[in-house]
Amino acid sequence: MEINSTMTNYENLPLYGVNVKIFVKLGLIDSIGWTKRFLVCLIPIITYVGQIIHIFKSWDDDIGEMSMNLHILLFTTHSIVRLWLMVTKPKDFERFFLCVEQWYTNIKRNDDPQMVGTLQKIIKRTQLVNKIAICVAAGGTIAAFFYPLSFDGHKHMVSVQYPFFDALQTPFYEFLFLIQVLCLAPINVILTLPLTNIYLISLMFGELVLKDLCVKLRNIRSENEEIMLQEFKQCIAYHRKIIDWCDDLQDLLSMDGFFHVALFGMMLCMLLFFLSMIHDLRLIVTILTFVSYTTYMLFSTYYYANKLATASLEVANAAYDTPWYRGNLEMRKCVITMIARCQKPLQMNAGGLYPMTMETFQAVLRVSYSYFSLLQGLSQQ
């Protein structure tokens, strides 16, 4: 009974809103059965196999359409990676959400007006993020639906081929079209935006607890050396807890972040290349929607990861602002230790290789444009 109550608590946490509930309902987390997970995985995997077969069989076809097919393949690859993360790490996600739920409850229970006010601002910001995500999801889904209708003849949202039947012939075409519209598109949206929102909200929460730590440090004003040392040691333990929590978030985010760097630059490149080769207004609007969708996914994650790293550096200033000069020798050593520890920001790393900062985001955009220019030059030769 106690476990189920706790599970319900994090599922209904205002901080995450509906994002966690979606994964609970699908059975990707907080579930002991594999039936729902298997059904959720089945359609994307079968579609992914059909995409690869189609890419190989149509490699020598129109280069513009091939670039669009490669973009959709990369997008599906990212969805498959996220699906694999959810299926293989459900307990890690559950523990992470439980930790956030307990921390959230403690902050509200302490009844610090400044932190409660900041927490309410974070909740309002997460609600805004959710609304933006809904608009982006709606735009992306509508664009994906109208994309195949912009061509003459039969075409799927996700072009596929299979060895035993022609996917463009009746009744296979109609059946696969309905499957992609009613099942594949919602699953891809669920695997991208809600999980992205969970990462963004977690990064915002990390920024919040770092600000909470700074407040605790700046509130150390006791004249008693022992009390001041004890309060500072509590802040050190709190900082250690934040670092451990960021490590847990890093474990959940690292692989996905790597594919952000590895795939999103290529996805933007393919979209821009296809955009440069078309003249149909319907297709242009559709591709611009895809570009906006892809850019939002990349920018939002790196923006909030960068804010977390910046907030972690402020802890050193807050530690220095304590009246350490009135403390004993041990107090001064503790202050030096914390300041030294804070010199390395709490950065999220993509695959443990690339720091998720705005500089990396700009580098991805530059690489994407370089690939686009190269492709455009090759196509004109």
- Residue 227: CB atoms within 10 Å: 11
What is the reported pTM? Answer: 0.83
Distance CA 120, CA 250 (A): 25
Residue 7 lies in a domain: no
Q: Which helix (H) or strand (E) holds 354?
A: strand 354-355
Residue 3 lies in a domain: no
Residue 52 lies in a domain: yes
Residue for token digits 């409850």? 105
Range of the domain at 80: 14-379
Residue 1 lies in a domain: no
Distance CA 307, CA 220 (A): 25
> Under the phi-then-psi rule, with left for phi > 0, alpha for psi from -120 to 50, and beta for the rest, what region is 30?
left
One pLDDT digit (tens) per residue for the chain, 381 residues: 333 444 456 777 777 877 888 888 777 776 666 777 777 788 888 888 888 888 888 776 667 677 778 888 888 888 888 888 888 888 888 888 888 888 888 877 776 777 777 778 888 877 777 777 777 777 777 777 777 777 777 777 788 888 888 888 888 888 888 888 888 888 887 777 788 888 888 888 888 889 888 888 888 877 788 888 888 889 899 999 999 998 888 888 778 878 777 777 788 888 888 788 777 777 787 788 778 877 887 888 888 889 999 999 999 999 888 888 887 888 888 889 889 988 888 888 877 777 888 888 888 888 888 888 887 777 766
Distance CA 57, CA 168 (A): 14
Instruction: Supply the pLDDT for residue 32.
Output: 61
Helices 63-88 and 281-320 sit at what angle, rounded to 10 degrees? 40
Instruction: Supply the pLDDT for residue 31.
Output: 60
Instruction: Supply the pLDDT for residue 9.
Output: 67
Residue 6 lies in a domain: no
Rounded to the nearest 10°, the torsion over CA 265, 270, 275, 280 is -140
- pLDDT, tens digit (0-9, with 9 covering 90-100), for 46-84: 888 888 888 888 776 667 677 778 888 888 888 888 888
Instruction: Supply the pLDDT for residue 3.
Output: 39
Residue 8 lies in a domain: no
What is the phi/psi pair of residue 219, to 5°? -85, -5
Instruction: Supply the pLDDT for residue 111.
Output: 65
Domain count, the chain: 1
Instruction: Supply the pLDDT for residue 137.
Output: 72
Distance CA 210, CA 346 (A): 10
Instruction: Supply the pLDDT for residue 5.
Output: 43
Residue 356 lies in a domain: yes
Distance CA 6, CA 30 (A): 11
Residue 49 lies in a domain: yes
